[in-house]
Structure 1
Amino acid sequence: MTLPSLPVSQVEVVLCDCSAQDAERVFACLRAHFESDRRPDDPPHETGTDRPTMWTGMYDTSAVPADAEDRPEAPSESVTVEVQGSPPAVRLLRAALEEEYTVHQVGVDAGDQEVQLQLRVEGRQGRGR
C-alpha cells in the first residue's frame, strides 16, 4: 500500500515523550514560523490514561503566519519531535526549531521525495525564558 504524499511545502510533526505543556511550547515555536492546523486556543492536553500520548500537527513551510506569536518558552524537558515531509520543507522546519532550541538528530529515513527525521529538542542553557 502506498500512502499519499504530502504537498511539497507541508510537514507533519508528531511530538511524544513529553508533557502537554512542553508539546504546546514546541507547537507555539512552529506556529510563530509557519501556518498550522494547530490553533493557539486548542492546546494539547493530557488524556488521563497510562498510555503514552502523542500530539500531531501539520505545518505549511511556505506560509508565514499573519499574526506571529511571541517567542515561545523552552520545554522543561527534552521532547521527541518526528517530522515527515519533502527534504526542503523538513530543512526549513528544523531550522526554525534550531533558532529557539538545541536540536539533536536521533534518526533519519530519507528518500528522493520525502524524509523522516527524529529529533530531540531541548531548551538552551543560559537562555532566560
Structure 2
Amino acid sequence: MLCDCSAQDAERVFACLCDHFESDRRIDDPPHEVGDDRPTMWTGHYDTVAVPTAAEEHAEPLSGPVTVDVQGSPPAVRLLRAVLEEAYTVRQVGVDAGDQEVQLQLRVEGPRGRH
C-alpha cells in the first residue's frame, strides 16, 4: 500500500516494483487522485517468486517521500525492500513481525543514497 504521496510518485514506485515482479497493477490503469479533501491510498500485489524477464535499470525520481506498507512472508518482504533500496533511499519507520508474516512501514525517497 502506498500513501502520503502524489499519484505520479505512486505510479513511479509501482513501475519500479513491476519492473521486478509480476503484479495485479496494470500499466493502462495508473494511480489517480480521487479528491482533495480525503487521504488517498493505492494498493498492489506482487509475486516475488515470478520475476519478469525485462527489468529497467533506473527508476523514475520521486518528487517527495512516499509511505510504503509492505506485508508478506519474511523472504518476500526482504526481497521487495531490497528492490526499493536499489532505486531509492529507504528508511524503516515501523515493523510488526510474526512467525509467518511481516509488515513493514517504509519511507521511500529518491534517488538512492541522497536525503
- Both proteins in one fold, TM over 0.5: yes
Residue 70 of structure 1: how far off its partner (Å): 5.9
What's the C-alpha RMSD, in Å, of the aligned pairs?
1.6
- For structure 1, the 5+ residue unaligned runs are 1-13
Q: Is contact 1:23-1:44 (8 Å) kept?
A: yes
Give the match for residue 17 of structure 2. 30
Equivalent AA in structure 2 for residue 84 of structure 1 = Q
Residue 126 of structure 1: how far off its partner (Å): 8.1
Matched, 1:83 2:70: yes
Q: Which stretches of structure 1, 4 residues or more, deviate above 4 A after TM superposition? A: none
Larger radius of gyration: 1
- For structure 2, the 5+ residue unaligned runs are none
As a proportion of its length, which structure holds more strand?
A: 1
Mean Cα deviation higher: 95-104 or 43-52: 43-52
Q: Given the two structures, how large is their TM-score scaled by the length of structure 2?
A: 0.92
Distance change (3 Å), C-alpha of 1:75 and 1:113: same
Q: Given the two structures, how large is their TM-score scaled by the length of structure 1?
A: 0.83
SS of residue matched to 2:78 = helix
